[in-house]
Amino acid sequence: MKIEWIPDYPLDDECIQAMEKAADQCLISEGIPFPCSITVRLCDDENIRRINALHRNINLSTDVLSFPSVAYPAGKTASACQHLLQKEYDDETSACFLGDIVISVPHCLAQANEFGHSKVRESAYLLVHGICHLMGYDHIKEVERLAMRKMEENILSSVSLERNMEDPATQTIQPDEELIAAAREAMKMSYSPYSRYPVGAAIRTEEGRIFTGCNIENASFGLTNCAERTAVFKAVSEGFHRFTAIAIAALHPSWPCGACRQVLNEFAPGITVWTTAEGYPVRMKKLTELLPESFGPKDLQ
């Protein structure tokens, strides 16, 4: 992969080298037999926010943006559209231009810290994520998201940058994909005209049933019910009191609020909590980590 770097913000050579290796692997994994090129701008949060506002009408900073040169037909990725890529051939670089990527370096470093990854893994991950978009991958529909995640992890493990499985934040147990998908669906039902912060939740009973919930706001703000409590109350009102896991879907990965932690603790102090947001890795914690030294039914026995 030929990369034209636009280094508006500095990043270590070690990261750049890993990114270049991962970029080459993207073409190999996708099965593209000819050279391709991209531009990669490394900038700060303020600049990525400006670019996001200008081109996508979203006035927020983010980790990575990608602008593909090819409009792939629905459901198709680069390997199936090589004729479209070849139209982007550029004599100057002797390669087919896939598009532009913008990465916020401060955002990348903060995420590496938050997820317990090295900055090398996080910067390579963001570039691979951007290149996957330039190759036609997307994460709007659940099936597409899973295909994109699988592709990203295959590429990163081929260059020995797989997730650090020792890290609890990146979990060693398999995510409950069915529960996570149900939380994402439930998020669509959110009634949140005041905060404009939709949240969905899905809770799994010991019997294996799933109950979903969304946040339901009220003009009298204090009466708002969170997604997690909606899901718990729906399940309890149907006679289910024992739970193994809950998944939460929101605009960014967030853990249940204090009130919801206490309500979950009432029924399932050992529950597993998954959190998910589009464009972020799924994360898991136990309620015992989120609400240590809890007060609950055990104290009243």
Out of 20, 122, 217, 228, the active site residue is 228
CB of 224 to ligand THU, least distance (A): 5
Q: Give me the DSSP letters along the chain.
A: -EEEEEESS---HHHHHHHHHHHHHHHHHHT--S-EEEEEEEE-HHHHHHHHHHHHS--S--SEEEEESS-PPTT--GGGGHHHHHTTEETTTTEEEEEEEEEEHHHHHHHHHHHT--HHHHHHHHHHHHHHHHTT---SSHHHHHHHHHHHHHHHHHTT----TT-GGG-SSPP-HHHHHHHHHHHTT-B-TTT----EEEEEETTS-EEEEE-B--SSGGG-B-HHHHHHHHHHHTT---EEEEEEE-SS--PPPHHHHHHHHHH-TT-EEEEE-TTS--EEEEHHHHSTT---GGGG-
Site for ligand THU in 210-239 (CB under 6 A): 215, 217, 224, 226-228
Q: Does the annotation mark 46 as catalytic?
A: no
Site for ligand THU in 168-207 (CB under 6 A): 192, 195, 197, 199
**Site for ligand THU contains 126 (CB under 6 A):** no
Tell me whether residue 130 or residue 213 sits nearer to ligand THU (CB atom).
213
CB of 183 to ligand THU, least distance (A): 11
Which candidate, 168, 150, 156, 154, places its Cα nearest to that of 125?
156
CB of 190 to ligand THU, least distance (A): 7
Tell me whether residue 99 or residue 213 sits nearer to ligand THU (CB atom).
213
Tell me whether residue 127 or residue 186 sits nearer to ligand THU (CB atom).
186
Tell me whether residue 86 or residue 195 sits nearer to ligand THU (CB atom).
195
**Site for ligand THU contains 256 (CB under 6 A):** yes
CB of 260 to ligand THU, least distance (A): 5
**Site for ligand THU contains 26 (CB under 6 A):** no
**Site for ligand THU contains 257 (CB under 6 A):** yes
Tell me whether residue 30 or residue 228 sits nearer to ligand THU (CB atom).
228
Tell me whether residue 74 or residue 223 sits nearer to ligand THU (CB atom).
223
CB of 204 to ligand THU, least distance (A): 17
**Site for ligand THU contains 253 (CB under 6 A):** no
| Residue carrying the six token digits 């270049």 | 20
CB of 228 to ligand THU, least distance (A): 6
Residues that bind ligand THU (CB under 6 A): 192, 195, 197, 199, 215, 217, 224, 226-228, 256-257, 260
Residues belonging to the active site: 228
